[in-house]
């Protein structure tokens, strides 16, 4: 859960270069799509994955991961 009781969710925008960093960092939230680009789960990030999901977002070399 995000601060204030809101749930955290991520989206991967069109600037993704398909490097694979996010699914290797947090496979519970991110995966590689058929187009070779990353995608995020459609549901809230499980509480136990919040730290690694944030790490994946912060590590993205093109800042393609955004909070939704």
What are the φ and ψ backbone dihedral angles of 37, each rounded to 5 degrees? -110, 155
Alpha helices in the chain (DSSP H): 21-25, 50-59
Q: pLDDT tens digits for 3-36?
A: 555 578 999 999 999 999 999 999 999 999 999 9
Q: Cα separation of 23 and 25, whole Å?
A: 5
| Sign of torsion over alpha carbons 19, 22, 27, 29 | negative
Q: pLDDT tens digits for 28-64?
A: 999 999 999 999 999 999 999 999 999 999 999 999 9
Query: What one-character-per-residue DSSP string does 52-67 give?
Result: HHHHHHHH-TT--EEE
Q: Which residues make beta-bridge pairs with 39?
A: 31
Q: Give all domains of the chain, ordered by start, each with its CATH number.
A: 10-67 (3.30.70.20)
């Amino acid at each position: 859960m995000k601060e204030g009781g809101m749930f955290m969710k991520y989206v991967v925008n069109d600037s993704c270069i398909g490097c694979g960093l996010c699914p290797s960092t947090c496979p519970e939230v991110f995966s590689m799509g058929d187009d070779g680009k990353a995608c995020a789960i459609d549901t809230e990030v499980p509480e136990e994955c919040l730290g690694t999901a944030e790490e994946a977002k912060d590590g993205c070399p093109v800042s393609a991961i955004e909070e939704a």
